[in-house]
Amino acid sequence: MADIKTVGIIGAGQMGGGIAHVCALGGYDVLLNDVDREKIDASLALIGRNMARQVSRGIVDQADMTAALARIKPAASLKAIGGADLAIEAATEDEEVKKQIFAALRPHLSPDTLLASNTSSISITRLASSTDRPERFIGLHFMNPVPLMNLVEIIRGIATDAATYERAVSFARSLGKTTANAEDFPAFIVNRVLVPMINEAIYTLYEGVGTVEAIDTAMKLGANHPMGPLELGDFIGLDTVLSIMNVLHDGLADSKYRPCPLLVKYVEAGWLGRKAGRGFYDYRGEHPVPTR
């Protein structure tokens, strides 16, 4: 297979922007697509600010930042993405949305384009089966925030061939990431362990065992976690936490993965965490304040 030189990224949100950031610094030409052009512009601005912060901390040279930013180009349509050597879907954690993206991308793909999804929980085999190239489809699950987190989970679907896997591993490692192979089961490794812990913390709040502040303080100081589970849920996005719990509950048919009713209620209210201004904390003031 040809070397990867151009990376197309579909979805200019938190994850897509982060992936574009590390790919550009890694020397790849990047095409960034989103259905909302304003999101692309906002993502490019955020990437610039985040790289500037890296420069101020001596992590990245100014010249490298300038060159990296020049490598990222907005892609107004999926047609532009089709010519990339690697196309990474980084849209919302919704299986039907992801399948619709791959269906729309299909007519524009070059014969050798490698397809990847940044899904954090959904079956790679199912997503791959909705494309014309399941053997060249793989899961590349970057961790959030992408520029800071060193891990990429690599997930093969049942049809993924060996050459695609090797190419994906080499690509991730070229970005300075460490890879971990995960089998194609619901939520893979990280979120299979992490998200039920967040859900259990929400149950702990729901049942009145502790307050938001007490639960997060207990886990930070009692388990040496850098961030409390409720704060972490807000950071990830409570809609994403709920989506992953639903994937686990539906895929494994085990009641221990039942989403906490309080989590469902927060999502119904639109209190999705940091991105919405409110979740288990209210972020609209100078300092976050617990909402319960």
Residues catalogued as catalytic: 120, 141, 153, 191
**Which residue intervals of the chain are DSSP H helices?**
14-25, 37-56, 62-71, 78-81, 95-105, 124-129, 162-174, 190-206, 212-222, 229-236, 238-252, 261-269
- In degrees, rounded to 5, the angle at the alpha carbon of residue 135 between the alpha carbons of residues 130 and 138 is 75
Residue 188 tokens, joined: 């893979």
188: left (phi over 0), alpha (psi -120 to 50) or beta: left
| Cβ pair 149, 86 in contact under 8 A | no
Give CA–CA dist 152/18, Å, rounded: 13
